[in-house]
Chain A
């Protein structure tokens, strides 16, 4: 290890870019949210008016609730399925496992907008494949995008579908890190498959599981594209989640002050999740 003032020259360019794009906007946004905004331009100090207006909005609590439902359901379902999938893939013959991984990762690597559109296309009311397939088995009324719970369920389904590949890859890496000796020893001691999973695999998978849960929560809270493309927040306000709310405040209602204030509150929530993430990551400088 060399100690040198020059080191700062090595890292300065990287921090300059991060400062410009990631850090400075937060501080500028903080100042901006305290201004009176007219036609997108700050016109004077307004104190916490923008924030006060947010809390006066009776709809905001419901939006928060919907965000909670969407994110919570998506994360739980994603992790449940991804866990089963990765345990299964981990036991497959290598060549077959490779093919299955490829299939699982497909929705994660295609663009969010395209993925959401394709999914929507299949589940669209009249001409979609899903409605037709269900009609074949006797369900005639399948219009998920026209009922509030149906639209939310569909949004959760797309979120799960989109992110499951990521969860599987991380969990699979965690599973591969568990030495075979442990499960082998347990098997020799007479443990059955479920006992091995419950007592050995799951505890050793705790860290990857937590990391996946945090990243999934972050990315579900912060996704604008998925709800925007599939449901647009509707029908009514049924799938109007926080990210949509911020986006529409800014670019549909042109309430940049309110949008910035709400975005910064959201950012504070993100920071809490990031702190949790950093605590569970095995990082060393």
Chain B
């Protein structure tokens, strides 16, 4: 490899001072809108946090107040009093059930798709791949799903949500697991 040492040195020489001045102009041109985007990305979040600790009067004050109000935890107290912990526990249980179900089904399926040869393997896997974008929050499936679950009597049961969550994650899970085993 030592014979190639010379081009390497040459490359470094080109790279270091070789950055033309136009690059700095470009960087600035890109940097400004990006800075604006950072502001736009984080501002609603920070504004939400700020609003959550403001007393009622400060929330509706004009001009908007950034400081100078007495922070309050009244809103948080109300949220906790209204059963936040319980709702969160239910959300957690549902997502937990969905993850466990999706992985339990995805692991053997991904294994079979990767290691075994069987008839229709290609077409079945194509169906999985095609389901990935399909399950990406499809409003088109919302109503058919609803009428079907009404028919099955699954609406308003604790099974409905974990089943839907798991099914929507399953194609992606199979795809990812198959890629890594």
Known: A14-B109, A161-B40. A193 touches B140 (CB 8 A): no
The answer to whether A129 and B144 touch across the interface, beta carbons within 8 angstroms, is no
Contacts between the two chains (Cβ within 8 Å), count: 228
The answer to whether B143 and A218 touch across the interface, beta carbons within 8 angstroms, is no
The answer to whether A187 and B134 touch across the interface, beta carbons within 8 angstroms, is no
Q: How far is the CA of A24 from the CA of B109 in the complex (A)?
A: 20
Chain A residues with CB under 8 Å of B117's CB are 1-3, 7
Q: How far is the CA of A106 from the CA of B121 in the complex (A)?
A: 38
Chain A residues with CB under 8 Å of B101's CB are 17
Chain B residues with CB under 8 Å of A271's CB are 134
The answer to whether A274 and B130 touch across the interface, beta carbons within 8 angstroms, is yes
Which single member of B34, B126, B139 contacts A283 (CB below 8 Å)? Answer: B126
Q: How far is the CA of A218 from the CA of B20 in the complex (A)?
A: 41
Of chain A, the residue at the smallest CB distance from B23 is A193
The answer to whether B139 and A256 touch across the interface, beta carbons within 8 angstroms, is no
Main secondary structure of the interface of B (DSSP, over half): helix
Question: Which A residues, 79 to 125, have Cβ-Cβ distances below 8 Å to chain B?
Answer: 81, 84-85, 87-88, 100, 103-104, 106-107, 110, 115, 117-119, 121-122
The answer to whether B126 and A29 touch across the interface, beta carbons within 8 angstroms, is no
Check: A139 CB closer than 8 A to any chain B CB. Answer: no
The answer to whether A214 and B171 touch across the interface, beta carbons within 8 angstroms, is no
Question: Which B residues, 16 to 68, have Cβ-Cβ distances below 8 Å to chain A?
Answer: 18, 20, 22-23, 26, 30-31, 33-34, 37-38, 40-45, 47-48, 51, 59-64
Chain B residues with CB under 8 Å of A221's CB are 139
Chain A residues with CB under 8 Å of B170's CB are 14, 17-18
Q: Give the 6 A-B residue pairs with the shortest CB-CB distance, closest first.
A: A29-B144, A21-B167, A10-B112, A285-B125, A14-B109, A118-B44
B residues at A contact (CB < 8 Å)? 11, 14-15, 18, 20, 22-23, 26, 30-31, 33-34, 37-38, 40-45, 47-48, 51, 59-64, 101, 104-106, 108-109, 111-113, 115-118, 121-122, 124-126, 128-151, 163-164, 166-168, 170-171, 174
- Give 7 pairs: A residue, B residue, CB < 8 Å, sorted on A: A3-B117, A8-B118, A22-B167, A222-B138, A246-B139, A259-B143, A285-B113
